Amino acid sequence: MPSFRSRCSANFVVAAIKQTITILGIDPGSQITGVGVISACGTDLKHVYSESLKLPKGELSVRLEQIYARLQIVIAQTRPDIVALEKVFIAKNPQSALVLGHARGAAMLAAVNNNIPVMEYSATEIKKTVVGKGRADKAQVQHMMRVLLGLRVAPEVDASDALAAAVCHAHQQQLNQALAASSNLRGAR
């Protein structure tokens, strides 16, 4: 069911219609999963919600169910338009990569079961977008999330990574809208 989104003004491309969208960023993990929700309207970003979901030790199936269940609650409460998910990195340990893939699957399933599109971004792409360096460390990402979202205190590491994924998508969407508007303006001449 489509949700109402308010229009907002932005001055970077006058011809583009701007709407506020809600983006759920997820930094999947089998021990801690980062969750971050922002609203974005052009260059205006607002923090909606974030948490580092600490999962109990034990059976992987139980942890995956907890990821899925918690994301269902966050989705119901924040009604995101899109999910920005961090891609799997190439791990030295194949078993770790496999377990991380399962956590990503639980997150994707939560989004897909709610008819929410999923966009995937590499950790390097996310860091380059929010910090300016693809090899930025966790503290730099935390600092930028605090600054960009106007937070008094930097979020926990995993929540910060999830917020960074959401911010990365907001910037990517803004770029795509600007390019489309520019193309439309050239086509109208």
List active site positions. 27, 86, 158
111 Cβ contact list (under 8 Å, min separation 6):
24, 71, 75, 83, 85, 117, 118
C-alpha span between 5 and 124 (Å, rounded) = 31
Strand order in the sheet with 44-54: 44-54, 32-41, 21-27, 82-86, 118-121
CA distance 135 to 71: 28
Q: Concatenated DSSP letters for 90-105?
A: --SSHHHHHHHHHHHH
Q: Any idea of the CA torsion for 155, 159, 164, 166, to the nearest 10 degrees?
A: -120
CA distance 107 to 75: 11
Name the DSSP letter for residue 42. Answer: T
